[in-house]
Structure 1
Amino acid sequence: MSEPTASSIAVIGTGFGGIGMAAQLKAAGFDDFVIFEKADGVGGVWRDNEYPGAECDVPSHLYSFSFALKPDWSRRFAGQQEILDYLNECADRFDLRGSIRFGTEVVDAAFDETAGEWVLHLAGGDTHRARILIAATGQLSRPAYPKIPGIDEFAGTMFHSSTWDHDYAFEGKDVAVIGTGASAIQFVPHIAARADRLELFQRHAPHVIAKPDYPYRARTIAAFRRFPALLRASRLATYAWLEPRGFGFNGSRLGELLIRLFEKRYLRGLRKQITDPALLAKVTPTDPMGCKRILMSNDYYPALVGDHVDVVTDGIAKIVPEGIVTVDGRTHEVDAIVLGTGFAATEFLAPMTVTGLGGADLGEVWRDGAHAYLGLAVPGFPNFFMLYGPNTNLSHNSIVYMLESQFSYVVDAVADLADSGADWLTVRRDVEDAYNDDIQAQLATTVWATGCDGWYTTESGRNTQNWPGFTFKYRAATREFDPSAYAAPGATQA
């Protein structure tokens, strides 16, 4: 165990949140920071999810930093490797690697009220102290494994999409895929093209719309490179194309009309792709459109029509060494099971333990569902900010836009803390309560509150994920750090 290290700011994670936050801190003159990364490279979810077909469902010109535009994206919707390359380019461009401690997981963080510092305990036994703690661990960092009886008894090969086994040969094999979420609809076509037989186990049919993707021509890329204004215009046009879709989720009369029209168009397209009545019945969604994440793919439905592919809608009773047993008593014998079961999105920051004033455990504070002021700050946890925190997820636009709003707010908070001379600041409880009451009231009227079972909500039904409005409203709310919303040492927290 080495001597404790220290910095003014500690950042956890090197995905879009951590890399962008560090770049903006440095640009503002706050360069005394350390970034902790449990893996051996940057990239977050784009480093870990390298399954075949992994790509983004937000156009690349908007799914990138406004302060680090990239003129040479190869296509409109970039793939995993290209996005990972971009994050590595940003780490180099902003000279961040010297501030990153790779292979270093933060096990727990506890606030030392006397010193006004966060004490980080690292895997391996080392400690680090920092005045300000910024968590950029994201919502999609921990794989969710299904709680199926016998899951550890399977005798074949099993892996999650985020831990893809690239050495496994699907050729000549009978394969089962559990789950039909965002990852599965991307890798299922690749398995279907290789396996002898594929059984896709589906609980609820997702809405999978066409993806308006295409490669950029060399001359188009050259124009973006030569005329940066064109690239900024493309970014703005993409934002203007996506943002009005927020109407479709907000529960307004206009939104309900738009979503009905969009669903009719979707169903017409589905019937053109799936002509077999039995298969069509299986893949036709029963949840309201938008209640769960709307997915995008041009090859998912075509992959399902193969004679060697079967969509299984019977529930899974258990897993046995030979394969999967469904509730009808049938045993589906397979050589491999691929889990496309997503992430533990509602378990923010886990498994890291965070302890605030008076020994308050953040996990206990969040026992009924995560919440935070602006998705960024929690009462009783001073000088602590989260990026992509509770209720900042989107269904209609780019999370990078939301992150940039958060970067600006946190930099402003860091500057205010430096200027005020206070040891620490923590958001007032009454402010956070009023904010979250309003957020939950808005969410109660949205399409996400129509009763579907998805990853946006906790088991108790609380939506801890989504931002209920337009992204420009969030940007307005985070434009300036408001000291009056925070309490300093010795002040009474309402």
Structure 2
Amino acid sequence: MTAPTTDGHTAAGDLTDGGVTDIDVAIVGAGFAGLGMGIRLARRGRESFVLLERAAEVGGTWRDNTYPGVACDIPSHLYSFSFRPRPDWSRVFAPGSEIQEYLREAARAEGLLPHLRFGADMHEARWEGDRWRITTGAGTWRARVLVMAAGRLSEPRMPELPGLESFPGPVFHTSRWDPGADLTGRVGVVGTGASAAQVIPGLAERASQLVVFQRSAPWVVPRNDRAYSPEELRELADPAHAARVRDGMFADAERNFPQRLGRHPDIDRLRDTAEHHLAAQVPDPRLRALLTPDYEIGCKRVLLSDDLYPALARENVTLEPSALTAIEGGKAVAGSGARHDVDALVVATGFRSTDPPFAQRVVGRTGLLAEHWSAGMTAYASTVVHGFPNLFVLDGPNASLGHNSAVHMIETQIGYVEGALDHLARSAEPLEVSRAAEAGYTAEIDARSRDTVWLRGGCRSWYVDPRSGRLTLLWPGTAGSFRERNGRFDPSPFGH
């Protein structure tokens, strides 16, 4: 690996005669995962690296999602890097703009700006026998190691609806928010997931009429968000106190995992909380019936909200208890046959989480990553893939959680990559995990997933790959068990 330069900064790469930049590590994506990896590499000072970002700013999800009401549903002190804590979060659950500012400041303060290349949409990453050749809109790099940090929530999933292309008003996904759109008239919201739950209350106050298309009712529990008091902020300025707060939040979240296994009384307490929340906030029995889910709690993402139900109960809001199926001029046609006049459509239908588009652009030793994942994403240690030497996927197969902070998982994977880099510094041979190791890990995941609420809860969710029916997004265990299983690099499973 490349040594640091004499001025204390790690070189960003050397330009070859062919206009290709040689680098030790190429990181694709500058959200939480990419920036976290970059920070750790910058602090190591051992490898040259580049951060390739297709947009014009860092932040990933928190750069893209600017809709009114966007915020995290994990407590702020837990949804941040353990190696770069922030003491002055304004609220228990940080608003999106505050998280985005945290990431911008981290990139600046940690010296990542010289390593960032914006407008660098990855066209192709191809393994050439000993290095990866990464072709982007901002140039081409040859890297010994490729770290994919494109995330799960980067490619919006738009519904394929007859007539949608001819709708006369504005249509946009929540992650592509149009601040200039007129949303004061008759507005339709497609979906009732996490983004919809945050955007609906504000739209209900703004629009003259709001219709919400609900394919299936979500389970909702109280959010209990609040601003931190001046006294709390003074206490949190003490790093030791802030660390205790973070540790307490982590432990509280871990205690909720048995709910996802359907264990009693854990899941019963969670269901009771949600049912009492619905009953307290929706007195109308007809509306309450429409908002009562028909699947087990936890099968889909459990929403945190104190204002969704009151918004849906407003006189100017109509809950359409079926999916949007077609557009006919200015009318939105629901699965129930109901037709609603709308002037604008806000689409909150999630992301391409189980079939990431970047997989169509990664060509390994054995072919396309998308072909390897044609029956659902797999990876050994949720990070490395057979047939793709020196490739590390962050926040990818079975590396997310339904009950705790994704940042903990990302940091675990970053530690794994650091161990791999240490190994590569001592060896000239590429690292390719064996087919048997990846298959064995996948079988272990499938066995651990079998009795979870995600597969037995009677719902259809973005956690499960629709092609195979496998749980491919979530780790079927605690955050702590993921670190125990995957937090340390072991070279023994590598080799053909």
Band the TM-score falls in, shorter-chain normalisation: over 0.9
Deviation at 1:348, TM superposition (A): 2.6
Secondary structure class of the residue paired with 1:82: helix
Match of 2:316 in 1: 308
Q: In the alignment, which residue of structure 2 is the partner of 1:185?
A: 197
Alignment of 1:181-330 (within 5 A): 181-225=193-237, 227-251=238-262, 255-330=263-338
Say if 2:152 is the partner of 1:142.
Answer: no
Write out aligned runs for 1:469-488 (5 A): 469-487=477-495
Q: Offset at 1:14?
A: 0.7
Letter in 2 for 1:111: W
Residue 12 of structure 2 corresponds to none
Q: Is the 8 A contact 1:106 1:352 kept in 2?
A: no
**Secondary structure of residue in 2 paired with 1:357:** coil
Q: CA separation in 2, counterparts of 1:89 and 1:256?
A: 44
1:154 equivalent to 2:160? Answer no
CA offsets 1:108-128 (integer angstroms, 9 cap, x no match):
101001xx000111136x321
The alignment partner of 2:90 has SS state of coil
Matches within 5 A, 1:72-471: 72-113=88-129, 116-123=130-137, 126-171=139-184, 173-225=185-237, 227-251=238-262, 255-350=263-358, 352-358=360-366, 360-422=367-429, 424-450=430-456, 451-460=458-467, 461-471=469-479
Tell me the distance in 2 between the aligned counterparts of 1:213 and 1:474.
Answer: 28
2:240, 2:336 → 1: CA distance? 60
Cα distance per residue 1:46-74 (max 9 Å; x no partner): 00000000000000111001110101101
Taking structure 2 as the reference length, the TM-score comes to 0.94
Q: Distance in 2 between matches of 1:192 and 1:121?
A: 45
Counterpart Cα distance in 2 of 1:208 and 1:330: 26
Letter in structure 2 aligned against 1:130: A
Deviating more after overlay: 328-337 vs 185-194: 328-337
Distance of 2:58 and 2:309 partners within structure 1: 34
How far 1:29 moved relative to its partner?
A: 2.6
**Separation (CA, whole Å) in 1 of partners of 2:189 and 2:487:** 44
Secondary structure, counterpart of 1:347 in structure 2: coil
Deviations 1:293-342 (A, max 9, x none): 00101110010111110100134331122121124443211100110111
Say which SS state the counterpart of residue 133 (structure 1) adopts: strand
Structure 2: which amino acid aligns with 1:187?
A: V
The one-character-per-residue Cα deviations of 1:105-157 (angstroms, maximum 9, x if unpaired) are: 111101001xx000111136x32100000001111100000122222121111
One-letter amino acid of the structure 1 residue matched with residue 329 of structure 2? P
- Measured in 2, the distance between the counterparts of 1:231 and 1:349 equals 38
Bigger Cα displacement from structure 2, 327-336 vs 378-387: 327-336
| Distance in structure 1 (CA, Å) of the matches to 2:349 and 2:179 | 18
Match among 8, 20, 32 for residue 48 of structure 2: 32
- Report deviation, 1:11: 0.2
Matched, 1:12 2:28: yes
Identical-pair percentage: 40
C-alpha contact 2:213 2:334 (8 A) present in aligned 1: no
State the Cα RMSD in Å.
Answer: 1.4
SS for the counterpart of 2:395 is coil
Q: Does the 8 Å contact 1:199/1:311 carry over to 2?
A: yes
Aligned twin of 2:77? 61
Task: Give unmatched runs, 5+ long, in structure 1.
Answer: 488-492
Give how far 1:2 is off. Answer: 7.3
Q: Secondary structure at the match of 2:26?
A: strand
Distance 1:46 1:352, change over 3 A: farther
Counterparts of 1:315 and 1:88, CA distance in 2:
38
Indicate the residue corresponding to 2:9 in structure 1. Answer: none
Check conservation: 1:107, 1:352, Cα contact below 8 A.
no
* 1:21 CA drift (Å): 0.6
CA distance in 2, matches of 1:148, 1:134: 36
Q: Is the 8 A contact 1:348 1:370 kept in 2?
A: no
Q: Specify the code of the residue in structure 2 equivalent to 1:176.
A: G
CA contact (8 A) 1:156 1:321 kept: no
Q: Secondary structure at the match of 2:256?
A: helix
Tell which deviates more after alignment, 281-290 or 471-480: 471-480
Return the offset for 1:90: 0.6
| Deviation (angstroms), 1:392 | 1.1
In the aligned structure 2, how far is the partner of 1:329 from the partner of 1:303? 24
Q: Number of residues paired by the alignment?
A: 478
Residue 57 of structure 2: aligned partner: 41
Report Cα offsets for 1:195-222 as digits up to 9, x if no partner.
Answer: 0000000000001110121111122212
Q: Which residue identity does 2:269 align to in structure 1?
A: L
Three-state SS of the structure 1 residue aligned to 2:22 is strand
The secondary structure found in structure 2 opposite 1:101 is strand
Measure how far apart 1:480 and its partner are.
1.8
Amino acid at match of 1:465: L
Q: Secondary structure of 1:397's match?
A: coil
User: Which amino acid counterpart does residue 432 of structure 1 have in structure 2?
Assistant: E
The alpha carbon displacement at 1:420 in A equals 2.1
Shift of 1:351: 6.3
Q: Which amino acid aligns with 2:217?
A: A
Separation in structure 2 between the aligned mates of residue 393 and residue 348 of structure 1, nearest angstrom: 14
Q: Distance in 2 between matches of 1:117 and 1:320?
A: 52
Give the deviation of 1:352 after TM superposition.
Answer: 4.8
Unaligned runs of 5+ in 2: 1-16
1:224: how far off? 1.8
For the residues of structure 1 that align with 2:323 and 2:75, how far apart are their CA atoms? 36
Q: What displacement does 1:42 show?
A: 0.4
Once the two structures are TM-superposed, the CA of residue 354 in structure 1 deviates from its matched residue by 0.7
TM-score normalised according to structure 1 size:
0.94
Aligned AA (1:197): Q
Alpha-carbon distance between aligned partners in 2 of 1:279 and 1:162, rounded to the nearest angstrom = 28
